[in-house]
Structure 1
Amino acid sequence: MESVPTNQTKVADRVLARIAEIGDMFAIEGEFVDGKEIQSGHINTTYCATYRKSDGTEDRYILQKINSNVFKDPRAVMRNVEKVTRHINWKVLRRRTDSAGQTLNLYPARGGRNYIELPGDGIWRCYNYIEGTHTYDIAENTRQAYQAGYAFGSFQDLISDMNPSDLVETIPGFHDTRKRFDRLMEVARLDPVARLESCREELDFIRQREKDVDVLLDLQKAGRLPVRITHNDTKINNVMLDEETDQAVCVIDLDTVMPGLVLYDVGDMVRTVTTPAAEDEEDLSKVRFRISMFQSIIEGYLDAASGFLTQEEIDFLAFSGKLITLEIGIRFLTDYLEGDVYFKTSKPDHNLIRCRTQLKLVSCLEAQMEEMEKFVQKRAKAIK
Structure 2
Amino acid sequence: MSIRKDDIAGIGSQFAINGIFVEGEEVQSGHINTTYLATYRNEDGETRRYIFQRINENVFSQPLVVMKNIERVTNHINRKVFRKKRDFGGQTLNLYPGKDGRNCIVGVFGGIWRCYNYIEGCRTYDVVENTRQAYQAAKAFGAFQDLVSDLPIEKVEVTIPGFHDTPRRYARLIAAMKSDACDRVKDVQKEIDFITSRESIVGVLVDHLAAGRLIERVTHNDTKLNNVMIDEQTDEAVCVIDLDTVMPGLALYDFGDLIRGATSPVAEDEPDTSKVEMRLPMFEAIVEGYLETAASFLTPLEIDLLPFSAKLISLETGIRFLTDYLEGDKYFRIHRDNHNLDRCKTQLALVKSIEDQEDKMLNFVKKWHRA
TM-score, normalised with respect to structure 1: 0.94
2:182 to 180, 189, 193: 193
Aligned position for 2:19: 30
How far 1:101 sits from its partner (Å)? 10
Aligned position for 1:3: none
How far 1:15 sits from its partner (Å)? 1.4
**How is 1:283-362 mapped onto 2 (pairs within 5 angstroms)?**
283-362=272-351
Question: Is 1:369 aligned to 2:338, yes or no?
Answer: no
Q: Deviations over 1:245-292 (max 9, x none)?
A: 011110000000000000000000000000001111011111111100
The aligned amino acid for 2:346 is T
Equivalent residue of 2:202, what SS? helix
TM-score, normalised with respect to structure 2: 0.98
Aligned position for 1:252: 241
Matches of 2:79 and 2:87, distance apart in 1: 13
Aligned position for 1:130: 119
Equivalent residue of 1:237, what SS? helix
Aligned position for 2:264: 275
1:79 to 48, 60, 68: 68
The aligned amino acid for 2:220 is H
Asked whether the 8 Å contact 1:92–1:99 carries over to 2, the reply is no
Question: Is 1:90 aligned to 2:65, yes or no?
Answer: no
**How is 1:24-63 mapped onto 2 (pairs within 5 angstroms)?**
24-63=13-52
Asked whether the 8 Å contact 1:88–1:102 carries over to 2, the reply is no
Deviates more, 1:69-78 or 1:97-106: 97-106
Deviates more, 1:155-164 or 1:113-122: 113-122
Cα–Cα, structure 1 residues 102 and 32, in superposed 2: closer, same or farther, change >3 Å?
closer
Aligned position for 1:20: 9
How far 1:119 sits from its partner (Å)? 5.8
Cα–Cα, structure 1 residues 161 and 100, in superposed 2: closer, same or farther, change >3 Å?
farther
Equivalent residue of 2:69, what SS? helix
Equivalent residue of 1:117, what SS? strand
Deviates more, 1:163-172 or 1:180-189: 163-172
The aligned amino acid for 1:106 is L
Q: Deviations over 1:191-229 (max 9, x none)?
A: 001000110110010000001111001100010011001
Matches of 2:348 and 2:69, distance apart in 1: 32
The aligned amino acid for 1:19 is I
Question: Is 1:240 aligned to 2:246, yes or no?
Answer: no
Matches of 2:270 and 2:251, distance apart in 1: 28
Equivalent residue of 2:336, what SS? coil
How far 1:348 sits from its partner (Å)? 2.4
Matches of 1:131 and 1:278, distance apart in 2: 24
Q: Deviations over 1:38-62 (max 9, x none)?
A: 1110000000000011221100000
Matches of 2:78 and 2:367, distance apart in 1: 33
The aligned amino acid for 2:116 is Y
Asked whether the 8 Å contact 2:140–2:239 carries over to 1, the reply is yes
Q: Over the residues paired in the alignment, what is the CA RMSD in angstroms? A: 1.4
1:177 to 138, 144, 166: 166
Equivalent residue of 1:56, what SS? coil
The aligned amino acid for 1:204 is D
How far 1:167 sits from its partner (Å)? 1.1
The aligned amino acid for 1:124 is W
In structure 2, the gaps of 5 or more residues are none
Matches of 1:165 and 1:374, distance apart in 2: 36
Cα–Cα, structure 1 residues 319 and 102, in superposed 2: closer, same or farther, change >3 Å?
farther
The aligned amino acid for 2:344 is C
The aligned amino acid for 1:334 is T
Aligned position for 2:194: 205
How far 1:99 sits from its partner (Å)? 3.1
How far 1:380 sits from its partner (Å)? 1.9
How far 1:115 sits from its partner (Å)? 0.7
The aligned amino acid for 1:87 is H
Matches of 2:91 and 2:145, distance apart in 1: 10
Aligned position for 1:4: none
Aligned position for 2:133: 144
Equivalent residue of 1:64, what SS? strand
The aligned amino acid for 2:245 is T
Aligned position for 2:151: 162
Asked whether the 8 Å contact 2:21–2:38 carries over to 1, the reply is yes
Matches of 1:102 and 1:314, distance apart in 2: 29
In structure 1, the gaps of 5 or more residues are 1-10
Equivalent residue of 2:277, what SS? coil
Equivalent residue of 1:149, what SS? helix
How far 1:133 sits from its partner (Å)? 1.0
How far 1:120 sits from its partner (Å)? 5.9
Equivalent residue of 1:368, what SS? helix
Matches of 2:96 and 2:6, distance apart in 1: 20
Cα–Cα, structure 1 residues 200 and 272, in superposed 2: closer, same or farther, change >3 Å?
same
